[in-house]
Structure 1
Amino acid sequence: MVHSLAVSWEGDHLRALDQTRLPFEENYLVLKSVDDYIRAISEMQVRGAPLIGIVAAYGVAQAALNGADADFSRFEGDVRQAIERLRASRPTAVNLFWVLARMEGVLRANPDRSPSELAQLLLAEAQAIHREQMEADSRIGELGASLIPEGSELITICNTGELATGGKGTAFSIIRQAHLQRELKQVWVPETRPRLQGRLTAWELTRERIPFRVIADTMVGWLFSQHRIAAAVVGADRIAANGDVANKIGTYQLAVLCARHGVSFIVAAPESTFDPDCPAGVDIPVEERDAEEVLRLGDVPVLPEGYPVWNPAFDVTPAELVSYYVSEAGIKHGVRAPREQKEEQ
């Protein structure tokens, strides 16, 4: 069995922490149907590129287990329909598509298996994907921590911890490991409007006893002028072949500020986030979400209904602004890495 704080398989269903209720309430969802999985992903009850992929994998396994008593034709049709519906749940994070292609591969490779046997194989594959992500997270943390000086002040954005990956996190894993090794002075946490994922990071930092302060997104530029920030450490939802990075909205402006102030900009992501079939950032589909996310803060209206709103969930940071890419495979120096380090590469 594979268990994590964010999600765990409970024999015949997935138990998932409802992230829309944090940090005030820890409430767990019980996902038993494909509709449950799609709702959890699309409504961001589970979120973060790696975790979306993991949950989708379990969703395929759930569809297979629920239909294991059907004849093969109906079983295969139901599972393939589940894959297509899950594929449409969120468009930007490449992990989702990579995972679903891997689950489809299990179907293709086992045409002579019975529905019940295939259901067990698909569940085993989903658990393997989850386990591999946990291992990748640990490696990312170990490698990336070497880039962080002792006593640093860092800044991140959105949420990249266990809540986003089902393991130790990507950028958060680096922050955690750096603090264990050389004690960070402070982590600055932008609130990350409109969905306020920064509060999830604050919740995880509190659990890890890492010092932090939350700031409004509009304060980031002034922060750079008033504090000696050692690095920005961020995650990614998709990294194009040319190194452009799609991540939570606000990442691009953070990268620009890092370039202006000579601060390292570190992108942490598993190898599954690198998309060799996507030539450049311009080719990455950017999800646009409902205006209600901007018009309201939870149940509280902040603008009158009907006001025009633009609500892209992601932006794309050009490769020229990236100092380092950290994955479980190693550290790759970006365009903004110090010259002597690039020469050593």
Structure 2
Amino acid sequence: MTLQAIKWQDNQLYVLDQLLLPLESQYINVRDVKDGWQVISKMQVRGAPAIAIVGCLSLAVELINTSFEDKDELLDTINKKLDYLVTARPTAVNLQKAAEELKAISKKLYEDNLSVEDMVKLVSSWCQKMLDDDINTNKKIGWFGAESILKSAGGRNVQLLTHCNTGSLATAGYGTALGVIRSIHEQGRLAQAYCTETRPYNQGARLTAYELVFEKMPATLICDSMAAALMNCRKIDAVLVGADRVIRNGDTANKIGTYQLAVTAKCHKVPFYVCAPTTSIDLNLGEGKDIPIEERPCEEMTDIAGIRIASPGISCWNPAFDVTPAELITGGIVTELGVFKPSELHTILQAQ
């Protein structure tokens, strides 16, 4: 059984508070869009797929528990609430794409001969379906990624390095990059999974390590600054990361520290893979410099659990993400459709 970051029960939404992990497991009842915005912005839920799911389900909860005079009021509410949710975290594209799709679906339902109640039911059902769809997508990513890595390794068991958290806690279940590692482990071919601590928020040390231990995978935690030394002295078969946004040319925004891992992997001839659902791919942007990069509060760097660790008075620069150029993604981009070179993405998705 995998960890469950998002629970939907009897039209109620519960989110595992990831700020408390690994020491405490506590679920937050998300009662409306305002609550959804808060848990996303505060990073009580994080991971691009999970952000989109929680955002949409928070809307579903609010719609189910609100009385509307007519379909005009309902449609206006849906559009305004989705616009508000997208502002919670700007870099990950999944929520933005889900919002655009849900707006289009809602408009079509509005134009059909449906009651307000039926419209609410269909919109909320679409949001709920995102949970099952995401798990199925992640399992396909896991299979395709595992196939590519194990084929390159021949008959050897593999040692892998991952960054940030891309598992069940970042998705509806199974995971993207960590889903690939999970798939390899299920096949009995995982020798060792290394995870970075992922400063400044320590998603690797707190969350990925927690998942790896929970799933009983052979795993080792390293500091972010140890990655080059690890690749130099131990055989690493691949580096696996997730993505918050992949754009048309293959440039990828992901958790800060991803770019330097890609540079290091290229130097040590270690294949570098980006693992992401097609919902993370944004064909509207052409170059990495066009991706909006969220900057987080300084306290995330200077404090740990409310305790100051940095010298008072020092200024901080705290981007939450960096952009990895497509040419450094040497292993490929793993999606639910297969593993592709960054240059192939545009053609493959246009054909879908």
- In the other structure, the counterpart of 1:315 is 322
- In the other structure, the counterpart of 1:185 is 191
- In the other structure, the counterpart of 1:100 is 99
- In the other structure, the counterpart of 2:67 is 68
- In the other structure, the counterpart of 2:246 is 239
Looking at structure 1, the residues matched to 254 and 224 of structure 2 have their Cα atoms a distance apart, in angstroms, of 15
Give structure 1 regions of 4+ aligned residues with deviation exceeding 4 angstroms: none
Cα deviation, 1:41-79, whole Å, max 9, x if unaligned, reads: 000000000110111111221232232344333333322
Counterparts in 2 of 1:49-198, with a 5 A limit? 49-111=48-110, 112-148=113-149, 149=153, 150-198=156-204
RMSD over aligned Cα atoms: 1.6
Deviation for aligned residue 1:305: 4.5
- In the other structure, the counterpart of 1:212 is 219
Please state if 1:30 is matched with 2:29.
Answer: yes
Deviation for aligned residue 1:309: 0.5
Please state if 1:325 is matched with 2:324.
Answer: no
Give the counterpart letter for 1:128 in structure 2. K
CA contact (8 A) 1:68 1:116 kept: no
Cα deviation, 1:67-119, whole Å, max 9, x if unaligned, reads: 23443333333222211110111000010101111111221111143332221
Instruction: Give the match's secondary structure for 2:22.
Output: coil
CA contact (8 A) 1:54 1:126 kept: yes
Looking at structure 2, the residues matched to 110 and 153 of structure 1 have their Cα atoms a distance apart, in angstroms, of 50
Cα deviation, 1:2-54, whole Å, max 9, x if unaligned, reads: x9711121223201111111111111110112111111000000000011011
Looking at structure 1, the residues matched to 62 and 284 of structure 2 have their Cα atoms a distance apart, in angstroms, of 28
Cα deviation, 1:142-167, whole Å, max 9, x if unaligned, reads: 11101223321110000000111112
Looking at structure 1, the residues matched to 67 and 198 of structure 2 have their Cα atoms a distance apart, in angstroms, of 42
Looking at structure 1, the residues matched to 11 and 278 of structure 2 have their Cα atoms a distance apart, in angstroms, of 30
Looking at structure 2, the residues matched to 293 and 84 of structure 1 have their Cα atoms a distance apart, in angstroms, of 27
Give the counterpart letter for 2:100 in structure 1. A
The TM-score with structure 2 as length reference comes to 0.91
Looking at structure 1, the residues matched to 326 and 144 of structure 2 have their Cα atoms a distance apart, in angstroms, of 20
Give the counterpart letter for 1:314 in structure 2. F
Looking at structure 2, the residues matched to 296 and 113 of structure 1 have their Cα atoms a distance apart, in angstroms, of 52
Instruction: Give the match's secondary structure for 2:23.
Output: coil
- In the other structure, the counterpart of 1:10 is 9
Looking at structure 2, the residues matched to 69 and 305 of structure 1 have their Cα atoms a distance apart, in angstroms, of 52
CA contact (8 A) 1:184 1:211 kept: yes
Please state if 1:202 is matched with 2:209.
Answer: yes
Q: 1:302 to 1:70 in 2, by over 3 A?
A: farther
CA contact (8 A) 2:249 2:342 kept: no
The TM-score with structure 1 as length reference comes to 0.93
Looking at structure 1, the residues matched to 115 and 312 of structure 2 have their Cα atoms a distance apart, in angstroms, of 53
CA contact (8 A) 1:64 1:115 kept: no
Looking at structure 2, the residues matched to 172 and 220 of structure 1 have their Cα atoms a distance apart, in angstroms, of 17
Deviation for aligned residue 1:334: 4.7
Looking at structure 1, the residues matched to 299 and 225 of structure 2 have their Cα atoms a distance apart, in angstroms, of 21
- In the other structure, the counterpart of 2:310 is 303
CA contact (8 A) 2:3 2:169 kept: no
Instruction: Give the match's secondary structure for 2:187.
Output: helix
CA contact (8 A) 1:106 1:121 kept: no
Please state if 1:225 is matched with 2:224.
Answer: no
Give the counterpart letter for 2:136 in structure 1. E
Which segments of 5 or more consecutive residues in structure 2 lack a partner in the other structure? 344-352
Looking at structure 1, the residues matched to 310 and 167 of structure 2 have their Cα atoms a distance apart, in angstroms, of 31
Cα deviation, 1:192-244, whole Å, max 9, x if unaligned, reads: 01111002111111111111111111111111111111100111010010000
Task: Count residues in correspondence.
Answer: 333
Deviation for aligned residue 1:183: 2.6
The percentage of aligned residue pairs carrying the same residue is 40
Give the counterpart letter for 2:131 in structure 1. H
Bigger shift: residues 76-85 or 12-21:
76-85
Q: 1:188 to 1:57 in 2, by over 3 A?
A: same
CA contact (8 A) 2:75 2:107 kept: no
Bigger shift: residues 247-256 or 201-210:
201-210
Deviation for aligned residue 1:182: 3.6
Looking at structure 2, the residues matched to 68 and 271 of structure 1 have their Cα atoms a distance apart, in angstroms, of 35
Instruction: Give the match's secondary structure for 1:185.
Output: strand
